[in-house]
Structure 1
């Protein structure tokens, strides 16, 4: 009698039906795994583990591997814009499908960016993070790329050696980005705010410890504190009370505090620049 319990399905590869059977899965076990969500069929004869990121399934449905910005985001690294699906497809492949239905062909309206290039990844369903980061640098703006690499460094997903390899594989024009990286930034919004304010000509310090208060995200010109708030860490009344107490303690010590949300920094970056410019101008007038 066939074993009804298939082996655990790998989360980093794709498998065909024949490969599932060769690995010890029974026909009944595969049917059960599909029914329970432990296994997913992305397209004809292409199966992935049920625990993979949804964009992995979408990329396989298209006919390639998760790539570039989408692979970076799936790895938990900050990316500024997730609106498109990035897929690496072998140059010899054809019959690309919609990311939402394997029964429909891929159209220009699908918000899919296809990178036609060869990969040595074999059965892997996604491009490795270091390769995905390098490709993503080419596909987005300067600030977004720096914020992405900052976050990968902050999470210790890459190190200086990885950065060396990454920039060595990029055109020389991207070398100017490397001195601007700072792995101390705890969020993408901090990285982008730092770059905006440095462009304003400010002195910007990152993750500064202030006696009696704690660490602040950014310290501008030694007296303006910029705290880049996100809903995840500043929601709820208790969190707001802690923030307001910190603001009062900072004011007591002579600091001015502004708290742009991450959404404000991303959607209207000039607003933060105007706010800091206004404070600096006012201080100059009253000296």
Structure 2
């Protein structure tokens, strides 16, 4: 494990030959951070890891998934898994300050038993546990997008997904039924769910002769492209997109480009636009 993602006890550091004075100097010089009593991390460790250890547990759920670049849309906050015997919980910003209550919107505590155990030197939970926690902490459609993304990137497979849902209450089974690893981004997953809710048929990552792959093909005629600023903001890319749109029009397809930001933050407006297009087609307009 990379030292940036490792946690040491004082005993661990002594066993590695640092010495008591060496530990003190490492903290004073900023090489090590004493997150809480007998828990040290490298100063280069992600801040969220240090904050979770300072509270008294391990990083999990949405906070860990964001750190791993797994798609997460819902809110912020620090999510910490707590051992059943946890005590002396501290503020994530100050190890001398007790944690107010048993969590808040800023600090979400998870007390459920872990599915998989990691070594004592790991300040995070296993990805399988983080995904299980994330299903419970998000609206269903956001959870679908998160799990789709983890599947598409190969971070988990069907056995891990089965393990996640075996540990969850039966009410979450609908989420599993909606998963599709073909979605190349979280916004594609969200868009797909809007299409499904509108009662239309669809397919993902369809290859059209002379054009290439498109994100979604709806009812056999509407091509929906989910554009992110990262890949579609340059003028060169916009010209390329327009050439694709023209080629699609020549083949009888209608192209609708929706930005990732619109899908994530204006879902009602996007869903209304989709219904308008489908209604126009069905009405012969």
TM-score relative to the length of structure 2 = 0.89
Q: Distance in 2 between matches of 1:36 and 1:210?
A: 59
In the alignment, structure 1 residue 194 sits paired with structure 2 residue 192: yes
SS of the residue aligned with 1:18? helix
**Which stretches in structure 2 are left out of the alignment for 5+ residues?**
none
In the alignment, structure 1 residue 64 sits paired with structure 2 residue 26: no
Contact 1:56 1:65 (8 Å CA) reproduced: yes
Q: Distance in 1 between matches of 2:58 and 2:3?
A: 15
Deviations 1:41-90 (A, max 9, x none): 32333212344332111111211100122222222211112411110112
Report what 2:40 is aligned to.
Answer: 47
Query: CA distance change for structure 1 residues 31 and 251 in 2, over 3 Å: closer, same or farther?
Result: farther
Report what 2:128 is aligned to.
Answer: 130
Report what 1:178 is aligned to.
Answer: 176
Q: Post-superposition shift, 1:9? A: 6.9
Contact 1:9 1:48 (8 Å CA) reproduced: no
Query: CA distance change for structure 1 residues 197 and 35 in 2, over 3 Å: closer, same or farther?
Result: farther
Report what 1:207 is aligned to.
Answer: 205
Q: Distance in 2 between matches of 1:197 and 1:257?
A: 15
Report what 1:23 is aligned to.
Answer: 16
SS of the residue aligned with 2:164? helix
In the alignment, structure 1 residue 270 sits paired with structure 2 residue 263: no
Q: Distance in 1 between matches of 2:28 and 2:239?
A: 47
Contact 1:208 1:218 (8 Å CA) reproduced: yes
- Residues 224-263 of structure 1 correspond to what in structure 2 (within 5 A)? 224-263=222-261
Of 89, 92, 116, the residue aligned with 1:96 is 89
How many equivalent pairs are there? 280
Stretch deviating more after TM superposition (104-113 or 220-229): 104-113
Q: Distance in 1 between matches of 2:60 and 2:200?
A: 36
In the alignment, structure 1 residue 216 sits paired with structure 2 residue 214: yes
Q: Post-superposition shift, 1:104? A: 2.8
TM-score relative to the length of structure 1 = 0.88
Of 66, 71, 76, the residue aligned with 1:73 is 66
Q: Distance in 2 between matches of 1:161 and 1:59?
A: 28
Report what 1:150 is aligned to.
Answer: 148
Q: Distance in 1 between matches of 2:179 and 2:97?
A: 42
Stretch deviating more after TM superposition (244-253 or 45-54): 45-54
Q: Post-superposition shift, 1:26? A: 4.5
Deviations 1:201-255 (A, max 9, x none): 0111111111111111111111111111112222222222222222222222222
Q: Distance in 2 between matches of 1:27 and 1:212?
A: 68
Q: Post-superposition shift, 1:98? A: 1.9
SS of the residue aligned with 1:259? strand
Contact 1:99 1:110 (8 Å CA) reproduced: no
Contact 1:9 1:39 (8 Å CA) reproduced: no
